[in-house]
Amino acid sequence: MDREDIMNNQLYKQIKHHQHEGYETDIILSQRHTLRGFKVNEDVLRPEKMTSIWLARWLFFNNMIFIDKIVLDLGCGSGIQGVVMALYGAKRVLFSDKSEVAFGNTKENVEKFGIAGISEIFCGDLLEKIFKDSDVGLIVFNHPFFSDPDENAPKSMVDRQGLIHRFFEESRSKFPLASIIMPFYHRAGHINDPSQQALKHGYNVIERLRLDVRTGLQKGLISIYEVRLA
């Protein structure tokens, strides 16, 4: 099986598993810390079965990067990354997603976990609703990994229209001093790989974690990158 077949098989498997009804799940961050009854609405990606869970755990164990900062969970989906940051040290959390379903799901989890007082939720494309004077010090962007143009694939899972390049240009313009944390699932190919694409926009990239995942829907190598302007 060649690389393209592997990529397509993985993508179609994910599409099938994300056709689900709304449910609640326990998000295990460590042996002593669990987000109990985390809400995942219909048409929102399953965070506990994707690279999202490894990113959430990495943020939990590396909270020194967001303590006392204003942070942005971009493409927030269910809101898992922002919820973790709000609970474990962030000064204020901005959530943003283009999907109204994700907006609603995040709002439910923000209220459920008692972080509404330090949270703000936006529905918009990339950084369009986030103002320069927001003083964002950290952006966490769990962006679409795959580039296959399958019309049935969720936009949160697939992009071949240059979303990652628009993001780097917008973040460079609005928040040039902010650090960016982005995960990547290597079976998705190189088109949306931050370690390759960020360099084209003048960013430096440091791999903070590389893990060979053996459970969930996204088995195989994942990375978590820290991206900063050179």
| Segment 187-229, tens digit of pLDDT | 888 899 999 999 999 999 999 999 999 887 778 899 999 999 9
Taking Cα atoms as reference points, which of 68, 29, 32, 71 lies closest to residue 47? Answer: 29
pLDDT (0 to 100) of residue 189: 85
Strands 220-229 and 138-141: unpaired
Three-state secondary structure call for residue 49:
helix
Q: Domain coordinates of the chain in residue numbers? A: 3-229
pLDDT (0 to 100) of residue 215: 83
pLDDT (0 to 100) of residue 6: 55
Q: What is the CATH number of domain 3-229?
A: 3.40.50.150
Ranges under pLDDT 70 in the chain: 1-19, 148-161
pLDDT (0 to 100) of residue 134: 87
**Cβ burial, residue 136 (10 Å; 0-12/13-18/19+):** buried
pLDDT (0 to 100) of residue 21: 86
pLDDT (0 to 100) of residue 13: 62
Integer Cα distance of 219 and 98 in angstroms: 27
